[in-house]
Amino acid sequence: MTLLLDEIAMATARLAQAGIESPRADAELIAAHLHEVPRGQLHTVADAGFDPRFWDDIARREAREPLQHITGRAYFRYLELAVGPGVFVPRPETEELAGWAVERLAALDVAEPVVADLGTGSGAIALAIAQEVPRAQVHAVEADPRARQWAARNVASLAAAAPHTAGRVTLHAGDFATALADLDGAVDLVISNPPYLPPGTELGPEVSDYDPPAALWGQGDGLDAIRVVAAAAARLLRPGGLVAVEHDASQGPAVYWLLAEENGWRQTRNHVDLAGRDRFVTAARHVAG
């Protein structure tokens, strides 16, 4: 066994004692990041190549700093995103939302579908759509300037790595309620992972101490931002256009009724995540007449 693998074993024990849910994986990912090798090739790192910064990073994770802040990377579908202080770290649950959007956009009889991502954060959803739906034109809206800087970095990085996405993701500063007024009635899909956590939700320190509060907490009953998304979608979508919005597991029925038939929606559906919990709602804008 190499020195590095011995160190990883000791680090795993320390992280487990600190209550980290995936101590071995986190220790290996930190080591892989420092040594710039895939996680599956850690055994190839020579003893002489051991990086002493490893234990500094393990101490940061032990103190419950998010793994993604330590490595500077978050993975979302087929993307590697730059993340850090000031931006929400994308979650695996949101990959289901993005996957639904990719499938529905690919099935549309529209040559260049227009998409609005409200509250883009790191740009995860917008960039996944641009990468996987080759002719989609994606407008990504973010009010927070720090988060928007991370999104801009990720847009540029993906354009360099995947030239077919260049020029197809446009960042906009602004809030949900008034954003993209020039696209009213012309959007094929509105998608959002807005702040929705109900008051009193218990969070681990990786979330409560590091993710921007404005990206987490829904105001009032937790649904205020989702109501704004629904109103914006009603304004932006063409007849028959689609909306998809993520929510807390406890909010499925309430969000469903925000997109009810009497509010001008059709085909409203609840969707569950991989754990079987309500996670996002979709609907189509009613075609009048």
**Mean pLDDT, residues 5-29 taken together:** 94
pLDDT of amino acid 124: 98
Statement: residue 289 has pLDDT above 60: no
Q: What digits encode the pLDDT tens for the residues 41-52?
A: 887 786 656 677
Please provide the CATH number assigned to the domain covering 84-285. Answer: 3.40.50.150
- Is the pLDDT at 22 greater than 90? The verdict is yes
Taking each helix axis as running N to C, give the angle between helix 53-62 and helix 23-35, from 0 to 180 degrees, rounded to the nearest 10. Answer: 140
Under the banding of pLDDT at 50, 70 and 90, the label for residue 88 is very high
pLDDT at 267: 96
For the ranges 18-22, 148-152, 216-220, 272-276, the maximum mean pLDDT occurs at: 148-152
Q: What is the pLDDT of residues 143-194, one digit of tens each?
A: 999 999 999 999 999 999 999 999 999 999 999 889 999 999 999 999 999 9
Please state the pTM of the whole predicted model. 0.93
For 237-262, write each residue's pLDDT tens digit: 999 999 999 999 999 999 999 999 99
- Above 60 in pLDDT, residue 1? no
Average pLDDT over the chain reads 93
For the segment 53-64, the average pLDDT, to the nearest whole number, is 95
How many Cα neighbours within 13 Å face the side chain of 283? 25
